[in-house]
């Protein structure tokens, strides 16, 4: 009967973690789709005096940073939740110390669940730190793209009158 409780607790924890992951992934996916659609519309709008290729790269890097933060934060919280459930299951196992065989079985199961809880916390915390690191890298790259003029130029012809699209560098030369 004791093993059934462990099985139910583990299945419930896995199910809730899966629901949490799917919900967060769905929301993040919606946000990223919206951000990238805006970026594509900006490029398609053929704005004058804007380095559109650089702007698209910045938006894409910001979207990747958002994805990294959301994904690894979700992994961290899901891991912490599973660790709490496994720790509670281990305490329940220790509470059923009635006979020698039951004590042995409960101790083994408690050790296994405590090890699983420790692994979950360490692994998910590591994933969270890695996600924060990658997000920082993406944000730094986006900042560099904003501060440094992008070597990629958008010189597509305008649909309306056939004139090339001016960039910030071109406007600087015109003023000089």
- What's the pLDDT tens digit per position in 123-156? 666 666 666 666 666 666 666 666 654 444 333 4
- What's the pLDDT tens digit per position in 47-57? 444 555 566 66
- What's the pLDDT tens digit per position in 66-124? 666 666 666 666 666 666 666 666 666 666 655 566 666 666 666 666 666 666 666 66
Local confidence band at 170 (pLDDT 50, 70, 90 cut-offs) = very low
What is the tally of structural domains in the chain?
1
- In terms of residue numbers, what domain contains 102? 2-175
Residues 6+ apart with CB under 8 A from 149: 51, 54, 168, 169
CA separation for the pair 40, 125 (Å, rounded): 35
pTM here is 0.35
CA separation for the pair 86, 71 (Å, rounded): 22
Backbone angles phi, psi at 153, to 5 degrees: -110, 140
């Amino acid at each position: 009967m004791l093993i059934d409780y462990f099985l139910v607790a583990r299945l419930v924890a896995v199910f809730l973690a899966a629901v949490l992951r799917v919900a967060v992934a769905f929301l993040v996916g919606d946000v990223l789709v919206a951000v990238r659609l805006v970026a594509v519309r900006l490029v398609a709008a053929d704005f004058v005096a804007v380095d559109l290729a650089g702007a698209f790269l910045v938006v894409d890097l910001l979207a990747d940073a958002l994805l990294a933060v959301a994904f690894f934060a979700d992994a961290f919280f899901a891991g912490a939740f599973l660790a709490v459930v496994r720790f509670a299951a281990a305490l329940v196992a220790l509470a059923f110390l009635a006979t020698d065989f039951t004590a042995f079985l409960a101790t083994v199961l408690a050790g296994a669940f405590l090890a699983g809880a420790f692994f979950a916390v360490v692994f998910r915390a590591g994933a969270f730190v890695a996600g924060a690191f990658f997000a920082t890298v993406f944000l730094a790259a986006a900042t560099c793209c904003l501060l440094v003029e992008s070597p990629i130029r958008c010189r597509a012809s305008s649909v309306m009158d056939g004139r090339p699209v001016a960039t910030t560098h071109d406007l600087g030369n015109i003023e000089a």
